């Protein structure tokens, strides 16, 4: 684990290979959070003691079903921290993960500092999490927006093409300071800091890529 922003850590899997992904850990007085990203045979057991020393966990926030894993239950059992996911993703999550808390697929606050933002288009029930802390707003996008090692790219599917565009337009109007994606551990780019002007240009570039694909 290493701190990448104040009270935000990236976690490398216990057994590292280039194809595995980085979860994020968020340390808060209101209860620590994990943004899980577990592929096959990807666990963070080697970091359980370090997580415990930082105060454990209260929730695991799953953006969509792509990063579900039975290891989510191992984390939940160790820290009494269930997985939270939208009702749209629950049918694909619950066959694999037992300790699941399902929330409505609407924009709402899980807590005063955790804003759930529905962003279909990559997955029908996918969400992003806008977490406010230390006077900064961090947008955790999972793999809704991705960095392929060269540039930031959209991850729209053909079936959800229009929904993806609508989701990008929604994010265009949301004020956030840093975007974080659960990219592969072989990729050094997993975040980007944005202001009002650069955020608009960032989203415009993604929209252009979608429209020409």
Note the pLDDT tens digit of each residue in 135-164.
Answer: 999 999 999 999 998 999 999 988 888 999
Residue 134: what pLDDT?
Answer: 87
pLDDT class of 12 with cuts at 50, 70, 90: confident
116 sits in which H/E element: strand 114-118
Q: Can you give the pLDDT at residue 19?
A: 67
pLDDT tens digits, 81-126: 999 999 999 999 999 999 999 999 999 999 999 999 999 999 999 9
> For the domain bounded by 2-212, which CATH number is listed?
3.60.15.10
Distance CA 81, CA 60 (A): 6
Q: Beta-carbon neighbour count of residue 212 at 10 Å?
A: 6
pLDDT band at residue 17 using 50, 70 and 90 as cut-offs:
low
Higher pLDDT, 94 or 21: 94
Half-sphere exposure of 10 (CA within 13 A, CB side): 20
């Amino acid at each position: 684990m290493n701190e990448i922003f104040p009270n935000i850590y990236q976690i490398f899997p216990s057994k590292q290979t280039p194809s595995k992904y980085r979860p994020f850990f968020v340390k808060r007085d209101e209860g620590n959070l994990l943004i899980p990203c577990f592929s096959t045979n990807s666990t963070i057991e080697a970091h359980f003691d370090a997580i415990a020393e930082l105060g454990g966990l209260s929730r695991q926030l799953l953006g969509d079903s792509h990063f579900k894993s039975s290891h989510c239950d191992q984390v939940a059992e160790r820290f009494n921290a269930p997985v939270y996911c939208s009702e749209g993703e629950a049918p694909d999550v619950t066959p694999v993960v037992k300790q699941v808390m399902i929330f409505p697929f609407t924009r709402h606050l899980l807590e005063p500092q955790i804003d759930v933002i529905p962003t279909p288009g990559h997955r029908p029930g996918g969400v992003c999490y806008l977490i406010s802390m230390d006077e900064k707003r961090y947008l955790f996008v999972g793999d809704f927006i991705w960095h392929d090692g060269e540039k930031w790219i959209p991850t729209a599917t053909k079936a959800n093409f229009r929904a993806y565009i609508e989701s990008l337009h929604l994010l265009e109007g949301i004020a956030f300071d840093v975007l974080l994606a659960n990219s592969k551990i072989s990729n050094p780019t997993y975040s980007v800091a944005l202001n009002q002007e650069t955020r608009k240009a960032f989203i415009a570039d993604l929209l252009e890529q979608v429209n020409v694909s």
